[in-house]
Amino acid sequence: MLNEPTLDRLRTMRLTALADAWRAQQEDSAITALSFDERLGLLVEAEWVYRENRKLKRNMRAAKLRLSQACLEDVDYDPKRSLDRDLVRRLATGRWVLEHRNIVITGKTGTGKTYLACALAHHALRQGKKAMYRRTSRLFDELMLAHADGTYGKVLARIAKVDVLVLDDLGIAPLTQMQRHDLLEVLDDRAGNRSTIIATQLPVEQWHEAIGEPTVADAVCDRIVHSAYRLKLGGPSRRKHKETS
């Protein structure tokens, strides 16, 4: 029978959840009546759930989602939003991540683009994937610093490994030559290998003008749009609705 030295060994091996679950079993007469295999299965399940929850929390912190509580279950399908419920349900399966497909979310300011982008990334995290959220302007700042301190390659490699990258507010300001180059570098690394969510006020038809250089714009669209699910949000600003409610 397990004793204190054995419990100490379990904790030394970082099997804390298993040790705690075993202690709980000793206090439950219904559990002690189960077979050895059934009790062992419950102990392993307790440890597995504990580790999965820890991994999710760790990945959530690393993702830095702007809206960390956003989830697909709370998405509003008000008809005014013109949000395709069937498409969102398909995206909830997570196959778009496995197939390295992208998502482009467009709509006027305040229509919930960031919420939906974060909800999709959050859902991917819950399915065991890694995600990263960046406002596009801040990503450019991060890459500019990386150019300066010699870590550019490392930063690109880190971004390239993330299963789901959320780029929010693309095209709010005209891009500089360096920003165009950096955007293409990021997307080129991910094309066909990882998934990217773009949230922007700009319709796809205006991307060429916003990017500013036809050759780079063609390359960006080729790497994002052609393999993307598109979600166009309509309706009035949800921020104004909240302020008046």
Per-domain boundaries in the chain: 4-60, 64-244
pLDDT at position 162: 97
Class of domain 64-244 (CATH, top level): alpha beta
Interval 109-167: pLDDT, tens: 989 999 999 999 999 999 999 999 999 999 999 999 999 999 999 999 999 999 999 99
pLDDT at position 26: 78
The whole-angstrom separation of Cα 245 and Cα 239 is 10
Percent of the chain with pLDDT over 70: 96
Strands (E), 9-127: 102-107
* Predicted TM-score (pTM) of this structure: 0.83
The whole-angstrom separation of Cα 72 and Cα 4 is 45
Decide if 196 contacts 165 (C-beta within 8 A). yes
**Model confidence at 219: pLDDT above 50:** yes
Q: How far apart are the first and last CA of the chain?
A: 61
pLDDT at position 238: 67
Give the distance from CA 60 to its chain's centroid.
Answer: 8
Q: Name the pLDDT band for 239 (thresholds 50, 70, 90).
A: low
The whole-angstrom separation of Cα 31 and Cα 172 is 59
The whole-angstrom separation of Cα 141 and Cα 190 is 20
Strand, helix or coil at 48?
helix
Q: What angle do CA 98, 104, 110 make, to 5 degrees?
A: 130
